[in-house]
């Protein structure tokens, strides 16, 4: 009887175990993921691996979230391919994969707004995960601003400015975790209103705080902007960011700003313990390498493989062996958006140099390509394959040899220089700008406005989209040698690949 009594008392003690007022939850963070599959020859990245990591952690602790700090609909090679309906995929592959991964929360990055509104809305409607948009709204006309929305079966659901998650652990501790977001306006579109990201973040925090235990940020901003948000909201213990493409975990006062590497080469795993008595959070952050040892989620891997087969078949229509190593670089080739659209980069110069050699022995004075054609938004390092060049220049297109007056050439170059920060900025070969004398030079000599120059440029530039006055019939263009379908010059990517193989 004594033994039974002790057992009963023990069971009662366990059953009546008090809430310790402390709860741990996990946040798995990725950001800036443009490729659904592994990169670096399959060595790193891959969303099927991220899915496996998330599933493993969630089995360990049900209070686990998978969040995305934005940038995934564009750019990628697959996004530029066309489906059976004749329309480009424009991130459709990413939505399908992310749906299968069961993301808990996703913020907009600046590259989501690369899409035209029609395509952007299609992607929203296809998504099954939760979006958040604190400082961005849909602009219907010059006056009306409304929340972005997801439409399914004729029913529209607004994307909220804030989100709250309810967590409960095994001993009964319950907490509410609120999130706000913020998106950089680095490539503004007419259909997007960006608001005041700092004031919007403060307003969101003030809305969340009375009804939550802790408030966190999920942003897509520059580190400088994230830091300012953090300083204005010192009680937010961590901001899960993006945009920079390089991992970081940087303290700002008592808070943290965290970013993982682009293309899911890493994921941050944050174990956050909130103490309801002290109202404080303790954070243990681990940068997890996503590689061949991570393992894959079978369901997600199947979807990824389907899309990679579509890509593979399309690439092989253009080049025989897209995965062959064509060049090994000892220095990173800079394809990041901001430098490409504002300064001369080594990758931009390499592309322009390749263009200058596409017409054999013909004398070429100079060459240029608009920075907006370069869509990699990261650096190329080590072994480079044909696939990498397609990632750099996903839209392809041909190049032409154009004879133009020095007057028009100088005008074109000056227009590109003054449009630094946009896709109209030109990456060039055999051209320099003399800042001191405010002169453009070709081959080291000042441009002669009366001389005719032989210039290589892309088909796209001659359409006048980036530089309005640069069209095939523009005054100052004397002759255009257009590429033919069978020519190397019919695809700028083939031109770059051939040049790299020759180095």
Instruction: Quote the CA–CA distance of 204 and 209 in Å, as a whole number.
Output: 9
Instruction: Quote the CA–CA distance of 263 and 286 in Å, as a whole number.
Output: 18
Tokens of 424: 């109209």
Neighbours of 375 (CB within 10 A): 24
Q: How far apart are the first and last CA of the chain?
A: 89
On the question of a cis peptide bond just before residue 75, with omega within 30 degrees of 0, the verdict is yes
DSSP string, 441-478: EETTEEPPTTSEEEEEEETGGGBTSSSTT-BTT-TTEE
> Which residues are 82's β-sheet partners?
88
Tokens of 229: 């948000």
Exposure string over 259-277, b if 16+ CB within 10 A, otherwise e: bbbbbbbbbbbbbbebbbe
Instruction: Quote the CA–CA distance of 358 and 360 in Å, as a whole number.
Output: 6
pLDDT on residue 17: 59
pTM of structure:
0.87
Residue 284 vs residues 28, 29, 117, 269: alpha-carbon distances, Å? 12, 13, 40, 8
Neighbours of 500 (CB within 10 A): 20
pLDDT on residue 14: 45
Exposure string over 155-169, b if 16+ CB within 10 A, otherwise e: eeeebbbbbebebeb
- CB within 8 A of 332, min separation 6: which ones? 379, 380, 381
- CB within 8 A of 114, min separation 6: which ones? 73, 74, 75, 187
- Long-range contact set of residues 78-87: C-beta below 8 Å, sequence gap at least 24: 78/36, 78/307, 78/310, 78/311, 79/394, 80/394, 80/395, 80/396, 81/310, 81/311, 81/314
pLDDT on residue 211: 98
- CB within 8 A of 340, min separation 6: which ones? 334, 347, 348, 371, 374, 425, 427
Closest of 246, 184, 195, 192 to residue 221, by C-alpha: 184
pLDDT on residue 8: 42
Domains recognised in the chain with CATH numbers? 19-303 (3.60.21.10), 320-502 (3.90.780.10)
pLDDT on residue 187: 77
Query: What is the CB-side half-sphere exposure of residue 198 using CA atoms within 13 A?
Result: 10
pLDDT on residue 2: 34
Degrees, nearest 5: CA angle 344-503-311: 80
Q: pLDDT (tens digit, 0 to 9) for every residue of the chain, 503 residues total? A: 333 344 444 444 444 557 799 999 999 999 999 999 999 889 999 999 999 999 999 999 999 999 999 999 999 999 999 999 999 999 999 999 999 999 999 999 999 999 999 999 999 999 999 999 999 999 988 789 999 999 999 999 999 999 999 999 999 999 999 999 999 998 789 999 999 999 999 999 999 999 999 999 999 999 999 999 999 999 999 999 999 889 999 999 999 999 999 999 999 999 999 999 999 999 999 999 999 999 999 999 999 999 999 999 999 988 999 999 999 999 999 999 889 999 999 999 999 999 999 998 779 999 999 999 998 888 999 999 999 999 999 989 999 999 999 999 999 999 999 999 889 999 999 999 999 999 999 999 999 999 999 999 999 999 999 999 999 999 999 999 988 888 999 999 999 999 999 99
Residue position matching structure tokens 């313990």: 273
């Amino acid at each position: 009887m004594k033994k039974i009594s002790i057992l009963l008392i023990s069971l009662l003690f366990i059953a009546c175990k008090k809430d310790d007022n402390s709860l741990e939850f996990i946040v798995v963070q990725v950001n800036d993921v443009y490729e659904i599959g592994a990169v670096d020859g399959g060595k790193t990245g891959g969303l099927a691996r991220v899915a496996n990591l998330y599933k493993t952690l969630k089995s360990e602790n049900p209070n686990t979230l998978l969040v995305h700090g934005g940038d995934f609909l564009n750019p990628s090679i697959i996004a530029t391919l066309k489906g059976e309906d004749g329309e480009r995929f424009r991130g459709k592959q990413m939505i399908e994969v992310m749906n299968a991964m069961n993301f808990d929360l996703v913020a907009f990055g600046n590259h989501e707004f690369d899409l035209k509104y029609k395509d952007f809305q299609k992607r929203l409607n296809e998504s099954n995960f939760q979006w958040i948009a604190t400082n961005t709204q849909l602009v219907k006309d010059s006056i009306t601003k409304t929340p972005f929305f997801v439409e399914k079966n004729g029913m529209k659901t607004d994307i909220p400015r804030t989100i709250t998650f309810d967590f409960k652990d095994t001993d009964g501790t319950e907490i509410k975790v609120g999130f706000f977001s913020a998106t950089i306006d680095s490539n503004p579109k007419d259909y997007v209103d960006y608001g005041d990201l700092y004031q919007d973040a403060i307003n969101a925090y003030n809305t969340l705080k009375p009804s939550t235990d802790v408030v966190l940020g999920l942003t897509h901003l520059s580190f400088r902007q994230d830091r300012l948000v953090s300083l204005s909201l010192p009680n937010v213990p961590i901001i899960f960011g993006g945009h920079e493409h390089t991992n970081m975990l940087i303290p700002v006062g008592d808070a943290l700003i965290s970013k993982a590497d682009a293309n899911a080469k890493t994921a941050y795993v944050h174990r956050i313990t909130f103490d309801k008595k002290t109202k404080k959070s303790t954070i243990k952050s681990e940068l997890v390498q996503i590689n061949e040892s991570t393992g894959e989620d079978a369901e997600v891997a199947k979807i990824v493989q389907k899309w990679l087969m579509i890509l593979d078949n399309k690439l092989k229509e253009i080049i025989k062996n897209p995965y062959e190593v064509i060049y090994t670089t000892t220095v990173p080739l800079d394809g990041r958006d901001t430098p490409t659209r504002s300064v001369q980069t080594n990758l931009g110069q390499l592309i322009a140099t390749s263009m200058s050699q596409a017409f054999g022995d013909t004398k070429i004075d100079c060459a240029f390509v608009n920075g907006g054609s370069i869509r990699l938004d990261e650096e190329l390092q080590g072994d480079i394959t044909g696939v990498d060049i397609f990632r750099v220049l996903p839209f392809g297109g041909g190049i032409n040899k154009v004879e133009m007056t020095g007057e028009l050439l100088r005008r074109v170059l000056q227009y590109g220089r003054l449009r630094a920060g946009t896709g109209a900025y030109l990456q060039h070969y055999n051209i320099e700008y003399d800042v001191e004398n405010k002169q453009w030079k070709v081959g080291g000599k000042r441009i002669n406005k009366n001389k005719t120059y032989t210039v290589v440029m892309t088909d796209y530039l001659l359409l006048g989209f980036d530089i309005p006055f640069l069209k095939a019939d523009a005054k100052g263009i004397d002759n255009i040698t257009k590429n033919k379908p069978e020519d190397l010059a019919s695809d700028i990517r083939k031109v770059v690949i051939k040049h790299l193989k020759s180095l």
